[in-house]
Structure 1
Amino acid sequence: MTEMDPSLNQSIARGELTFRQLTHFVAAAEEGTISGAAARLRFSPSALSASITELERALGAELCVRRRAQGVSLTPTGRLVLAKARRLIDDVAELNYSVRGNDAGLVGPLVVGCFVTLAPALLPRLLDEFEARHPGVSLDFVVGAQDELSAALLSGAIDVAIMYDMGGSEGIEHFDLYQAHGYALFGEGNPLAERETVTLEEAVELPLVLYDQTPSTRYAMSMFEARGLTPYIRHRTHAFELTRSIVARSDRAYAVLVQRPANKLSYEGLPIIEKEITPTPPAVSVVFAWAHDAELSPRARALAELIRQQYPASGG
């Protein structure tokens, strides 16, 4: 990793810049435009631009190129300053939360990301128990796809996430909560619904309703590829419950999913029949994740501890 010019650290030590300037610079970098940052901070664009200019003067370096039509582009030095500025601002915020909380317990914000199919099953209990333990914490959540959650962790938009470990998530640390594996589901009238278990060789002759959401798509398709099979994809959906509802209404269609809701009925009240696949597909881990270069706040650590208690076999 490239080190910041020592003169920049000396400028910070001499106090030639302010946290307001850093806040303005971070907002401009994140929004991509001066006007966007000004709107976010409820500041005038001219004053915000002048604040960033003062920051550049204090550091003796150009941090960004400002073009009216193209927005704000960070220089290499600007990218280094952005990372340090975020940490400084976060540290000051944590100091404030620590002083405010003191003996009263944890205070401050915490944003949790959760993969879309896991959220209905895991978040309600987690929110309920955490808020009962730490009423001073402002806990919020974001539900999204795997790639969205990974990007949000790396950008600092969310503090932690509950998601699947499908590999390929560079810069993200995690510990496992539990493991799951794929299963097949059918409508009540499907002949395969009467089997004790099913094979992909049997199912592949039927129309597949593919839940098309990363990483679920990749996991499902890898199961067929491992058996040398090519499924006939009749429908692609981006909604978990829609996938289940289409299958429940059909006497031929099937789907392959990982998350198993306790409710075995579709939204229409039709039965959903779940069957184990033989041979058993590879397991996939549900994990508690955070950015590798991020220091977990006391609030995030408290959430991690609660999750370890809820999933004692997690080994986290």
Structure 2
Amino acid sequence: MALNFHQLHIFYTVSERGSFSAAAQALHMTQPAVTMQVQSLEDYFGTKLLQRSTKRIELTEAGRALLPYARRSIDLIRDTDRAMSAFTKQLKGKLQLGASLTIAEYILPRLLGPFGAEYPHVSISLKVINTTQIVEEICNHQLNFGLIEAPVNHPDMHMEPVMSDELTLIVPCGHPLSEKETVTMDEVLKYPFILREQGSGTRQVMEQQLLERGFESTALNIVMELGSTGAVKSAVEAGLGVSFLSASSIKHEAALGLIKKVKVADVTFTRQFYSIYLKSALLPISAVTFLTFLREKDLQQWL
């Protein structure tokens, strides 16, 4: 019997998940099939790799020695897929991903056209939900990977920055701040705010940046919380308050003079957009190819 990557991947997933049943769910396999593959790996090495118990498995000394090699084998396969994705010109299949609202509505439409022109036989299925929901659906294996607007701290997730963005202050036309080129945050805090809902990446970044500069989120006079960027823009345009939104999301309204961008002197809301997926997952080649596209192309030419 030869050692194979499939068994190493299963062993690693069982180790990370802590049980055969959780690993089976993550790998879309039956629990007996997972158990059989681990037993085959143990037969190959001639030693026990896992100690079974009713609550949680534990690694033996041999299992602890094997684990970093299993991890490296997964990384090597991912690197191989990434290197070869540049040559996959006849790629076919479905690209399925989740993206938070700002990315899905204002960034991805400008990128999926060039990607589709390069890979015309790939169909795209995009789920538009907020950052928190994307993490939940990846954990529950309803999504392979996602693009999110704020970093998350999750032990099972691999996260990588793929593009940058900046939040900008927007105010209604005729607002007292609209005639100023630059304002301070203390000036901005005097006015009512319209924000995205809790769990939104845009809101997380804004609150974190303010906190780092000594401004508590409780200092904001939040008069409205809305579930989409479009709704926030409409509320600002109607004169109901001010907000911070992605510069990419307000180009049209600013160009038409419906809202006004104002620079805040003492706070810079730069951020990264991230790809996110399970550490134990091996992504489909369509997903690997799309992430390579995001990493290696000059995205600003389309944004």
* TM-score, structure 1 as length reference: 0.60
**Partner residue of 1:243 out of 232, 238, 249:** 232
Residue 205 of structure 1 aligns to a residue whose secondary structure is coil
Deviation at 1:59, TM superposition (A): 3.0
Q: 1:82 to 1:241 in 2, by over 3 A?
A: farther
Q: 1:73 to 1:104 in 2, by over 3 A?
A: same
Match of 2:169 in 1: 183
**Counterparts in 2 of 1:113-192, with a 5 A limit?**
114-137=99-122, 144-145=130-131, 161=147, 163=149, 174=161, 180-186=166-172, 191-192=175-176
Match of 1:301 in 2: 292
In structure 1, give the amino acid aligned to 2:204: T
Deviation at 1:27, TM superposition (A): 5.1
Residue 170 of structure 2 aligns to a residue whose secondary structure is strand
Match of 1:311 in 2: 300
Matched, 1:279 2:265: yes
Match of 2:31 in 1: 45
CA distance in 2, matches of 1:244, 1:287: 21
Deviation at 1:24, TM superposition (A): 3.7
CA distance in 2, matches of 1:218, 1:104: 37
CA distance in 2, matches of 1:176, 1:93: 21
| Ranges in structure 2 where 5+ consecutive residues have no aligned partner | 153-157
Deviation at 1:130, TM superposition (A): 1.1
CA distance in 1, matches of 2:112, 2:259: 30
In structure 1, give the amino acid aligned to 2:292: R
| Ranges in structure 1 where 5+ consecutive residues have no aligned partner | 1-14, 266-270
Deviations 1:95-147 (A, max 9, x none): 9x88xx97964457766665531221121232222122123556665665399
**Partner residue of 1:84 out of 67, 72, 79:** 72
Q: Is the 8 A contact 1:110 1:300 kept in 2?
A: no
In structure 2, give the amino acid aligned to 1:243: V
Q: 1:281 to 1:184 in 2, by over 3 A?
A: farther
CA distance in 1, matches of 2:123, 2:31: 30
Of structures 1 and 2, the one scoring higher in RCO (CA 8 A, sep 6+) is 2
CA distance in 2, matches of 1:172, 1:73: 27
CA distance in 2, matches of 1:235, 1:274: 19
Q: 1:108 to 1:209 in 2, by over 3 A?
A: same
Q: 1:81 to 1:136 in 2, by over 3 A?
A: farther
CA distance in 1, matches of 2:209, 2:89: 50
Q: 1:248 to 1:19 in 2, by over 3 A?
A: same
Residue 219 of structure 1 aligns to a residue whose secondary structure is helix
CA distance in 2, matches of 1:287, 1:40: 25
Residue 185 of structure 1 aligns to a residue whose secondary structure is strand
CA distance in 2, matches of 1:278, 1:103: 45
CA distance in 2, matches of 1:128, 1:313: 9
Q: Is the 8 A contact 2:170 2:244 kept in 1?
A: yes
Deviation at 1:276, TM superposition (A): 0.6
**Partner residue of 2:220 out of 213, 231, 243:** 231
- Quick check: which has more Rg, 1 or 2? 1
Q: Is the 8 A contact 1:108 1:136 kept in 2?
A: yes
In structure 2, give the amino acid aligned to 1:240: T
